[in-house]
């Protein structure tokens, strides 16, 4: 399995004061990447800029580090697949626009624009950092996602990023990586064909099959859809009694406004697998995906949710 690691460019803003510290930081980075590879995945490192031009200390770019590094570490870095910019080989305009500060989504860490962390969130993968500041010595990072919807309203959301700057952080994510390997889907057809295996608590309206199967290989939207479906599946597993509680779903779930329900009642009504027609008011947004929505109905619960629609905002 190919596994992308996204370099957090904010961890490069504080160059080391001397070459000895550079050696320590690079050694820790290499140990961490090796720990990811040890989980049985093929690793690629995606960076915002050319990896080999990164400045590690004043007048000390990565190219000079090669001259001083241990041979084993030097060879490891040279053989590591690195890709710049982040959007290389990724067919998604949102990520390209994010890099160019031109998209509908922006991501911030402690008030500072965080492109790499945002890309890691959109791709549902691990963000990695040089251990240049204490704030990067953690296995998870919270960032603020700001998204401008089609009504020109700014939506704020706090999202959590899987992160690593030390090898022990990777060990904390071993179960998460194993699950990613186990549930890896190649495209929308694969996802649809495995829906009963992956999401036993979810039912899908007929038209959702066409919507899911339109997700082609390499489309980051596929990972966003999978992530949201697993959030609903996990919620169903703990929803054993009582009323539906949207606060227990990691992503923000909201119902349609009364005005939209009146205006789009027909468009929000879908025929369910049991033959009944229901209104699908509840929905999840796809962060970084423009106006995409996942509409669901909780009427069969506890422990069961119907997926009625996945696509652009219903108009």
- Predicted confidence (pLDDT) per residue in 93-140, tens digit: 556 656 665 456 789 999 999 999 998 998 889 999 999 999 999 999
Query: What number of other Cβ atoms are within 10 A of residue 119's Cβ?
Result: 30
pLDDT tens-digit map of 181-226: 777 788 899 999 999 988 999 999 989 999 999 988 777 788 889 8
Instruction: Judge contact between 170 and 32, C-beta under 8 A.
Output: yes
Cα angle for residues 223, 214, 182 (degrees, 5° grid):
35
- pTM of the entire predicted model: 0.67
Of 22-31, 57-66, 97-106, 220-229, highest mean pLDDT: 22-31
Residue 63 — pLDDT band, cuts 50, 70, 90?
confident
Mean pLDDT of 16-38: 93
pLDDT of residue 102: 47
* CA quadruple 222, 227, 232, 233: dihedral sign: positive
pLDDT value of residue 111: 93
CA–CA distance, 256 with 190 (Å, rounded to integer): 31
Give me the pLDDT at residue 41, please.
82
Residue 249 has pLDDT above 90, yes or no: yes
What are the angstrom distances between the C-alpha of 135 and each of 54, 60, 90, 246? 20, 23, 29, 31
Rg over CA atoms, the chain: 21
Taking 60 as the threshold, does the pLDDT of residue 180 lie above it?
A: yes
How far is residue 164's CA from residue 128's CA, in Å, rounded to a whole number?
5
Taking residues 137-150, report their average pLDDT.
86
């Amino acid at each position: 399995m190919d596994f992308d690691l996204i370099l957090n460019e904010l961890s490069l803003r504080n160059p080391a004061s001397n070459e000895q510290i550079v050696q320590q930081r690079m050694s820790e980075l290499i140990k961490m990447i090796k720990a990811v590879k040890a989980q049985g995945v093929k690793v690629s490192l995606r960076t915002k800029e050319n990896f080999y031009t990164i400045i590690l200390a004043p007048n000390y770019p990565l190219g000079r580090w090669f001259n001083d590094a241990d041979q084993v570490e030097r060879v490891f870095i040279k053989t590591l697949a690195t890709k710049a910019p982040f959007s290389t080989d990724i067919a998604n305009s949102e990520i390209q626009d994010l890099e160019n500060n031109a998209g509908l989504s922006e991501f911030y860490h402690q008030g500072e624009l965080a492109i790499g962390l945002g890309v890691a969130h959109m791709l549902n993968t691990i963000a990695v950092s040089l251990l240049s500041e204490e704030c990067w010595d953690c296995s998870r990072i919270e960032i603020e996602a700001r998204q401008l919807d089609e009504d020109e309203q700014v939506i704020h959301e706090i999202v959590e990023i899987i992160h690593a700057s030390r090898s022990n952080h990777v060990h904390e994510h071993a179960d998460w990586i194993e699950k990613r390997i186990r549930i890896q889907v190649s495209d929308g057809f694969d996802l649809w064909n495995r829906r009963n295996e992956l999401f036993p608590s979810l039912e899908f309206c007929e038209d959702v099959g066409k919507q899911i199967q339109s997700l082609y290989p390499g489309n980051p939207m596929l990972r966003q859809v999978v992530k949201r479906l697993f959030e609903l599946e996990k919620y169903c597993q703990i929803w054993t009694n009582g009323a539906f509680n949207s606060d227990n779903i990691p992503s923000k779930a909201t119902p349609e406004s009364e005005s939209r329900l009146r205006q789009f009642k027909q468009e929000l009504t879908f025929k369910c697998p049991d033959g009944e027609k229901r209104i699908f008011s509840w929905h999840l947004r796809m962060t970084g995906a423009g106006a995409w929505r996942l509409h669901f109905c909780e009427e069969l619960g506890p422990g069961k949710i119907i997926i009625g629609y996945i696509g652009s905002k219903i108009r």
